[in-house]
Chain A
Amino acid sequence: MTAEPILQASDLVKRFGESTAVDGVSFSINSGESFGFLGPNGAGKTSTMRMISAVSQPTAGSLSVFGLDPRTHGPAIRGRIGVVPQEDTLELELSVRLNLEMFGRYFDIPRAVLRERTADLLAFTQLSERANDRVEDLSGGMKRRLTIARALINQPEILILDEPTTGLDPQARHLLWDRLYRLKREGVTLIITTHYMDEAEQLCDRLVVMDHGSIVASGTPRELITHHSTREVVELRFNTDSHDGYHDRLAPFAQRLEILPDRVLLYVDEGDETLRLIHQEDIAPMSALVRRSSLEDVFLRLTGRTLVD
């Protein structure tokens, strides 16, 4: 890769009084890359995002965005990035179009330019027909798309998305992903936080896994899976209140075993073969499933917890 870092953080710390939200994280993001922060609620993702977007001041450590220090060049940095916050903070009383035009004025964009950009962005997010409707009357998916259109009004070089698809139905999610691919093709750097594994696998070139304010692993989704998990996973459910009793009987079949409240996960390279061997031993699960390893398994391995609980 020939790209140079557009954003660099080293030993970044954010404390709120007694509690430490971000505990010394370091990462660097290249221009045109799509970079993910994966982790459960409270892992420190949002605090990291807020520091990157020059809204919140780091307690310690160094941070550089576009080669500038957010502490001293906040307005200049914020002028070149777009932010899609976790919750839509739209102006409910205003129309869809006015939401975009008003927001553009915060960036000192001339009105004539804004009119043109607004039309383009509404088409891009498929909201042109709702341009004159009040935001209050839009569906959740539409509001989300409008928030993304709003974040693009200043033609940002970096687009920061905090949990972009939480609460959306599958169709709305896929539409949104599609728009994000297009932006990436146009060279926009995407920074995404999510607690959805499939989203991270779909969207991110590279990602870091965060837990308790620290980065516990980093790499491409493929690298993380190869490095921290096996090729395949066998999921078994038994007709019992507790799966704990199966640990000793199943352990010999797998490289690694995870007992969850409702099922047992066996980490193996050949799932079907393992399943055949288990059946031979007269172990009769209620249901059995063989699947490829995912980021979910990586996370379970790294933190000992499932991500979505």
Chain B
Amino acid sequence: MLTRTLPQFGSRRSIRIFERNLMVYRSQWLMLISGFFEPLFYLLSIGIGLNHLVGSVPVGGRLVSYATFVAPGMLATSAMNGATIDTIFNTFFRLKISHSYDAVLSTPLDVTDVALGEVWWALARASLYAASFIVCMVLLGDAGSAWVVLCWPAAILTSFAFSAIGLAVCTYIRSWQDFDLVTIVQLPLFLFSATFFPISLYPRWLGAVVAVSPLYQSAALMRGLSLGVFQWVMIGRAAYLAVLALVGLRLASNRFRRILTP
């Protein structure tokens, strides 16, 4: 089955879309750099005040400081936000406003190359941001163990899942107003995915709902990695994200084809 679905996901030519974005954003380096700071500000702010107010939080039978608890969730959130801003907002602009993909499609590139290329770009940015975030975690003492380096691939997987979903969502957006709806989904994901407090605080049934959230799966996976606590369920979490990524990419490719080459 895999061999039948893989060619749908674009070709080696998709790297040209990555090149294109690199060229366009070269003149906007300040914007690129600013992406590093947002999660860092969150870490600093929590480190200054909330850390003392909240004290320690139990995770996997261990008590850890609040900053150590929150940092992996922030990493997951920043991977989600970076991926969705790139794919939903910027791709919407190119797809429906500036029509810059139309020109690309008159070249040997295919629709699926375009979709995949945007994902490469989102991943490249995410891996840079995630790496710098992990360095900050270590410097601020918010890393639970040396295994925190494994958060890097986990963050990239998270970005992969969210950029694929974002790309698919983007094709359903009709106008700028619909971005309000995107925010209405994104904010509760951010606030309630056990990013700020443990899932054990929820009533049992609500905890089951939260577990569906990809951001929760990502945050929980990274929390385990950061603390060096390995459980079988973490493989399930990673698999969940990977499946979301593939489904999202497949859906995005089909939708792009419908829109760009009717």
Q: Taking beta carbons and an 8 Å cutoff, which residues of A are in contact with B? A: 16, 50, 53, 55-57, 74-76, 78-79, 81-83, 85, 87, 89-94, 98, 102-103, 105-108, 150-151, 154
B216 to chain A, nearest CB (A): 37
Partner of B261, one of A55, A75, A90, A107: A55
B29 to chain A, nearest CB (A): 13
Partner of B262, one of A56, A76, A78, A150: A56
Check if A78 sits within 8 Å of B23, measured CB to CB. no
CA distance A149 to B27 in the complex (A): 23
CA distance A81 to B13 in the complex (A): 17
Q: Which residues from 112 to 160 on chain B have a C-beta closer than 8 Å to any C-beta of chain A? A: none
Q: Show 9 A/B contacts (Cβ-Cβ < 8 Å), sorted by A.
A: A79-B107, A85-B103, A91-B20, A102-B19, A106-B13, A106-B16, A108-B13, A108-B16, A108-B108
Interface size on B, residues (CB 8 A): 22
List A contacts of B260 (CB < 8 A): 55
Q: How many A-B residue pairs have CB under 8 A?
A: 68
CA distance A105 to B262 in the complex (A): 25
Check if A56 sits within 8 Å of B261, measured CB to CB. yes
Partner of B27, one of A90, A93, A106: A93
Take A93-B24, A93-B27, A102-B23 as given contacts and tell me if A78 and B108 are in contact as well, using a CB distance cutoff of 8 Å: yes
Tell me if B106 counts as interface (CB < 8 A to partner A): yes
The 3 closest A-B pairs by CB, nearest first: A106-B107, A75-B108, A83-B106
List B contacts of A105 (CB < 8 A): 16, 19-20
Tell me if B52 counts as interface (CB < 8 A to partner A): no
CA distance A56 to B262 in the complex (A): 6
CA distance A85 to B102 in the complex (A): 9
CA distance A271 to B262 in the complex (A): 49
Check if B103 sits within 8 Å of A79, measured CB to CB. no
Check if B106 sits within 8 Å of A78, measured CB to CB. yes
List B contacts of A102 (CB < 8 A): 19-20, 23
Q: Mark B185-200, 1 if CB is under 8 A from A, else 0.
A: 0000000000000000
Check if B108 sits within 8 Å of A79, measured CB to CB. yes
Tell me if B63 counts as interface (CB < 8 A to partner A): no
Tell me if B109 counts as interface (CB < 8 A to partner A): yes
Check if B109 sits within 8 Å of A89, measured CB to CB. no
Check if B99 sits within 8 Å of A89, measured CB to CB. yes
